[in-house]
Amino acid sequence: MSPGAFAYLGGMVLACAALAISRRNPVHSVLWVLVMFFHLAAIYLLLGAEFLAAVQVIIYAGAILVLFLFAIMVLNIRQEEMGPRFSGGWPLALALVLALAVMLLGAWGSLRLPEAGPFGPELLAQKGGHTKALGEVLYTTYLLPFELASLVLLVAIIGAIVLAKKRLK
């Protein structure tokens, strides 16, 4: 990825995130998060992780944000919009964030990258891309977790209906 592309995409991600938490109208916040998700997807795409980019767009931008919008619509947020966007605790929050930043910068010197795993760029290129490499492992070695994922989804489907259905048959 070229530095210019990363500078644009990374900058947009940060700017959209800042806009999302500072907008007073929650619907506007969700729309800024949507713009942020698309820029994140572009970063994944430029890093050669096209499956992750697809998940970012299909699941996060397509489904999770729709859920956020519905949650906003279901809640009564008129009062929320009337009050100030940030409560009085922000100096404390700022101090905590700065402390975390100092800690992370302090830890930067002792950062050691781990040994590269088997799925390096060469193997991915040989397999014909990130999605193919992932699919080959997911549907053979990790067959059981994959099938268990369907059970997790099944539980979530039943749970959603039981919790939110007004008149359950």
Partner 1 sequence: MMVVALGFALGALLVGYLVRPRRPYPEKLTPYESGNPPVGEPRWRFSVKFYIIAMLFVLFDVEAVYLYPWAVVLERIGLYAFVEMMLFILILLVGFIYAWRKDAFVWD
Residues that bind partner 1 (CB under 8 A): 51, 54-55, 58-59, 62-64, 66-67, 69-71, 73-76, 131-132, 134-136, 138-140, 143, 146-147, 149-151, 153-154, 156-158, 160-161, 164-169
- 3-class secondary structure per residue, the chain: CCHHHHHHHHHHHHHHHHHHHHCCCHHHHHHHHHHHHHHHHHHHHHCCCHHHHHHHHHHHHHHHHHHHHHHHHHCCCHHHHHCCCCCCCHHHHHHHHHHHHHHHHHHHCCCCCCCCCCCCHHHHHHHCCHHHHHHHHHCCCCHHHHHHHHHHHHHHHHHHHHHHCCCCC
Nearer residue to partner 1 within complex by CB, 99 or 160: 160
* Residue 152: CB minimum distance to partner 1, A: 9
* Residue 101: CB minimum distance to partner 1, A: 34
Nearer residue to partner 1 within complex by CB, 17 or 72: 72
